[in-house]
Chains A and B, each alone.
Chain A
């Protein structure tokens, strides 16, 4: 270490003072000053390099710590997973025992973890299939289960309905939020005691079809506003009357009555076309529209007709 004693007061004189005492002494003072500055510079340089060294050290230690932590964690979870995935025991053991550090080992570890995870997800999926794909939760402290039935139409999720079943003795519906016009009571009479999956399956069909029919009416009201009018519909949406207009000067109004007698479907079972012009429903064009309405959701058909200029 270079010691850097501060210069004594008498040695440390301002250049003006020095000038009074001659050139040599002035030079002397300047030399001393230069020496002092160089020492200072050296010292700070040394300090800087030491800080850098220490910083690198910290980084190294930190990396080592992270590595150890990760290893400890993966070994732990592996031990837990080992019990679950018997057939992959060998691979796991290799990883857990392998002491040599290295890239290949961590890769293998990662791989086996992923495989274990996959097996776990597969098990869950199997369980989900076993209960028929419904979301089932324990309810009323183990005495019942709560089943959620999600509805969707054309890839859009709609309402989710819930059903709480009391399974203590005989299966009984304790509460639910299914609308009153869904024939729940009849479905329960048919299958609730004997085949729960069948019961939930038909109920889900009813609910999905209802949600689908309602969604079609909503879409017609929304997308075809001003062109197709929903004249009449009911709570169950199994009877919908739509009014559209033929293009042209006369602008004949056409009434389409869609009847859905199969409540488990969102497509009508009967389509009636009516108009003031009695010949219109018998024209091949409207015959075609009628059969289209039987096979395709109403809003899609009407949208297509509008695009082609078949209706206003």
Chain B
């Protein structure tokens, strides 16, 4: 075990919270049962780390094994860091039958063909997601394990989730992904957020959607504050209507947790008096940014409580229906701009 590997292990152990240390190390299958039991988790972290280092020396583990520990920790903490999503386009026949082994080999082969110094670690998570950790180097330096890129992909689906990807490495990774997954190309879908599971649920439609049904849901039991039965009845109907509409647009139950929605405006002033405003050649540029701990819940509440006008504007409903949270609005198109989003 060289010094850089030791340093990396120390760093990783420092990053893992004490209460998670036991469960994370348990999943790391490079210590024998006896060795694992010899570790005392009531000790301070630095002491555990020293013991762990000597065990690693004993087992002759290398940096490769240490990075696996980090990958396990990262899988346990999917809300760390920002994720953004890409979509693979035009699947070939083979895409439907590719399995983990083929993918692993093909991806490593293609990436290493593009760049010589790169360390790749691939692991399949319980929910069939493939987690890839890539440490990049360049022609003259070793892979930098301190700033790895994480990629999550579910085979047979067109979506790829990326975190910590440098602009310089983007084309390399894209090419390797496209070739390994048997697709024609890849594009950014302008969806990002901190919660990986939320992004996945939104795109794979794993959240509870509401569709119009023949038998409307019965009215919920309301508080017995009856002023006038007819007024109450009317209000209840409206409220129910609004809730149904909001649920049809945004979904029901726990909604995927997105933090932001960003709209870039490039519009012209369209008033009748052509004063200083109308004479401008340049379009107005503006940025509208919505942020909340759960933006979809907030927008749904605005609609269901009657604060926002119903029916919901396509600008807001596109977040869920198109699965993106970054839009550019220009004057040319009647509605949304032509920047590509994921196909529904």
Contacts and interface: CB of A to CB of B under 8 A. Distances in A.
Interface of A: 135, 137-140, 146, 148, 162, 164, 173-181, 185, 232, 234-236, 238-239, 259, 261, 263
Given A146-B212, A175-B321, A180-B204, A236 B96 contact: yes
B96 A180 contact: no
Contact of A239 (B97, B159, B213): B97
A236 B212 CA distance: 27
Contact of A259 (B97, B203, B212, B343): B97
A235 B157 contact: yes
Contacts of A173: 344
B344 A175 contact: yes
Interface of B: 96-97, 99-100, 128, 154-159, 203-205, 209, 211-214, 311, 321, 343-344
Contacts of A138: 212
Contacts of B205: 176-180
A192 to B, nearest CB: 13
Contacts of B99: 232, 234, 239
A234 B157 CA distance: 10
A261 B96 CA distance: 9
Closest 6 CB pairs between A and B?
A162-B211, A181-B156, A235-B156, A139-B212, A177-B209, A177-B205
Given A148-B211, A263-B96, 13 more contacts: A135-B214, A137-B214, A139-B211, A164-B211, A175-B209, A176-B344, A177-B211, A180-B203, A232-B100, A235-B155, A236-B96, A236-B156, A261-B97
A259 B267 CA distance: 54
Contacts, number: 61
Contact of A235 (B128, B203, B321): B128
A244 to B, nearest CB: 20
A180 B157 contact: yes
Contacts of B157: 180-181, 235
A263 B96 CA distance: 10
A175 B154 CA distance: 22
Given A139-B212, A185-B343, A179 B204 contact: yes
A180 B158 CA distance: 7
B242 to A, nearest CB: 14
A261 B209 CA distance: 30
A232 B311 CA distance: 45
Contacts of B128: 234-235
Contacts of A259: 97
A37 B147 CA distance: 112
Nearest to A259: B97
A27 B333 CA distance: 120
A10 B211 CA distance: 91
Contacts of A148: 211, 213
B330 to A, nearest CB: 23
22 contacts: A137-B211, A137-B214, A139-B212, A146-B211, A148-B213, A164-B212, A174-B321, A175-B209, A175-B321, A177-B205, A177-B211, A179-B204, A180-B157, A180-B159, A180-B204, A234-B99, A234-B155, A234-B156, A235-B154, A235-B155, A236-B156, A238-B97
Nearest to A185: B343
A239 B214 CA distance: 38
Nearest to B91: A183
Contacts of B321: 174-175
A239 B154 CA distance: 14
A176 B128 CA distance: 23
Nearest to A135: B214
A311 to B, nearest CB: 24
Contacts of B97: 238-239, 259, 261
Contacts of B204: 179-180
Contacts of A239: 97, 99
A162 B248 CA distance: 12
Contacts of A179: 204-205
Nearest to B207: A177
Nearest to B159: A180
A90 to B, nearest CB: 35
Contacts of B203: 180
A174 B317 CA distance: 11
B3 to A, nearest CB: 39
